[in-house]
Amino acid sequence: MKVLNYFNVRTFLTILISQAAAFLAITYDLRLSHNLLLFGVIIVFPLHFSLQAAFKRREKALEYFSQFKAGAMAVHYSFVVSQNLPDDKKAEIRNLLKSMFATLVAQLEGYKVEYATMQLKLNEVMAFADKYREEISKRNVLRIIRYIKDMTESSTFLISLVRHRTMYGIRFYSTLFIMLFPLIQAPIVLHLFKDLPHWAIYLGCGFGSFLLITLANFQKLIEYPFDPKGMDNIVLRDFDLDI
């Protein structure tokens, strides 16, 4: 189940820290007269920033992937409407476009960073258009060049997401303080709620830590939207060229 991907070693480690912190606070009567506002800002701000950035990347990826498919379909139709181009050549460019599309999908799903393979596929499409420029008319050639430009731009952005993620420093900072937060949370909770049963303190500290670390795990999964791990990731096979 994909939902299990949101729970990992960090989840159990953070909960363990929260329970150990609650145990120490209760056993040694450690109390801290302070509010959680400062620690909320330290944790929530970078977590919110990284989550927002990850969602923007996902929406941008959808936009560029749609642009790539639209460009490929436009190139296909430009050859289809060319009456002087033989049917076997139309089939050849159709297979070339499908191969190019499959190459991009395989690179994104396989975390492959290099762009050379994708560039070779685009070069083959351009070489095909140049070879049969008389059969498809100069106007169509110019249109195809524009569509190839759109596909190059969109595929470059998509492949760049394999290497370039949301800022590592912000994610590390957020995760570090989420794991340290229970050490401060337990004494503050014990001070604020003096008559609270011990089991409720354990439960409250554990739940707070669990919620924060799960959000951090969710951000890590959504920041690269092409793998099959996250429940909200992009299903690339839904964009297959239907030609």
As a three-state string, the secondary structure of the chain is: CHHHHHCCHHHHHHHHHHHHHHHHHHHCCCCCCCCCHHHHHHHHHHHHHHHHHHHHHHHHHHHHHHHHHHHHHHHHHHHHCCCCCCHHHHHHHHHHHHHHHHHHHHHHHCCCCCCHHHHHHHHHHHHHHHHCHHHHCHHHHHHHHHHHHHHHHHHHHHHHHHHCCCCHHHHHHHHHHHHHHHHHHHHHHHHHCCCCCHHHHHHHHHHHHHHHHHHHHHHHHHCCCCCCCCCCCCCHHHHCCCC
What pLDDT tens digit does each residue of the chain (243 aa) get?
A: 566 777 888 899 999 999 999 999 989 888 887 766 777 778 888 888 888 888 888 889 889 999 999 999 999 999 998 888 899 999 999 999 999 999 998 888 888 888 888 999 999 999 999 888 888 888 888 899 999 999 999 999 999 888 877 777 777 888 888 888 888 888 888 888 888 899 999 999 999 899 989 888 888 888 888 877 766 677 787 778 877
pLDDT of 39 reads 73
Domain residue limits, the chain: 2-232
